[in-house]
Amino acid sequence: MEYSYYPGCSLEGSARELNESFRTVSKKLGVTLFEIPDWTCCGASSAHMVDAYLEAALPAKDLLTAERIGKDVVAPCAGCHVRMKAASRRILEDADLRARFPFKGEIKVLSGLEMLHGQEILSRIKSSTIKPLEGLRVVPYYGCLAVRPPEVVEPDSPENPMQMDHILEAIGAEVLTWPYKTDCCGGSMALTRTDLVLKLSRKILDMALAVGADAIVTMCPMCQANLDTRQADISRQAGKAYQMPILYVTELIGVALGGTDTRQWFAKHMVSGENMLAGKGLI
């Protein structure tokens, strides 16, 4: 099984552990990723807000390259995925854009969750799990970009998506029911309205604690960074300590598959999941 691979800017920087864990588990699952050569920024998260042409033009180069390669492209970052999906949709519907960027729509643009949730790969995850995550209680956090806008992203459900739930169940984790799967963490307002970001993020953390979660699990670099790095400020504001690990689902798949690189991934987090997982005998 082979895919073109678009890491995007975050996975080369602040979300390096998502890049490393996604590549590692893909290899273990028999999936070959061909990184798009000379890829460029997709424009997330600002280009579509300031320039309608750049919104399509930035992802178009990578879409055309992937189409020449002839393999469906997977973009693990939720922001990159939605921008590439939106650009492919616009190009196919706009004759002027199509004349400049002759993308034919012969390849699919998949999110990381879509790839991992595919029937064959999900089956491989189940059969390859050698260390089931028994005793680990998690809440899946999809965030905004994994499900909205629904006409672009085309999620299995915009209000109650289940792909990450199924993946976590496949590796033996206990997936808890909670109401904030797709609520906004405020990540895009990190610089402009920090007060709202702290309020929104605290709400999510409090609900995860209320249902008894050991960790919040996501696939969005913006959500992960926001919920992870804001806990110190939220703790000072609330007068109590928050220490909730915000983990990528691919990191937990790596643990379940018996990976040896997992500790170095967790070391990149502000709130590491290492001690919690070690305490449960999982690493």
**pLDDT at position 44, please?**
81
Residue 264 reports pLDDT greater than 90: yes
Per-residue pLDDT band for 35 (boundaries 50, 70, 90) equals very high
Give the C-alpha separation, 194 to 186, whole Å.
8
Per-residue pLDDT at 155 exceeds 80: yes
Q: What is the dihedral of CA 120, 21, 168, 270, to 10 degrees?
A: -170
What mean pLDDT do residues 132-157 have?
Answer: 96
Average pLDDT rounded to a whole number, residues 250-273: 96
Q: What is the mean pLDDT of residues 248-260?
A: 97
**Considering only CA atoms, which of 7, 32, 35, 107 is closest in space to residue 64?**
107
Asked whether the predicted pLDDT for residue 206 surpasses 90, the reply is: yes
Mean pLDDT (the chain) is 95
Give the pLDDT band of residue 78 (cuts 50, 70, 90).
very high
pLDDT digit string (tens) for 80-114?
Answer: 999 999 999 999 999 999 999 999 999 999 999 99
pLDDT in tens, 165-186: 999 999 999 999 999 999 999 9
Taking the C-alpha atoms of residue 273 and residue 245, their distance in angstroms, rounded to an integer, is 5
Question: What domains does the chain contain, in order, with CATH numbers?
Answer: 2-113 (1.20.1050.140), 127-279 (3.40.50.11810)
At position 133, the amino acid (one-letter code) is L
Q: How many helices (H) and strands (E) does the chain have?
A: 16, 8
Instruction: Give the pLDDT mean for 109-120.
Output: 98
pLDDT in tens, 186-196: 987 877 789 99
- Residues 58-72: tens digit of each pLDDT: 999 999 999 999 999
Alpha-carbon distance of 213 to 144, in angstroms, equals 21
In this prediction the pTM is 0.96
* Res. 48: pLDDT tops 70: no
Distances 138 to 173, 194, 221, 267 between C-alpha atoms, Å: 7, 27, 18, 19
Q: Cβ neighbours of residue 210 under 8 Å, at least 6 residues apart?
A: none
**Reported confidence tier of residue 52, pLDDT bands at 50, 70, 90:** confident
Q: In this model, does residue 220 exceed pLDDT 70?
A: yes
pLDDT level of residue 242 (50, 70, 90 thresholds):
very high
Start-to-end CA span in the chain (Å)? 29
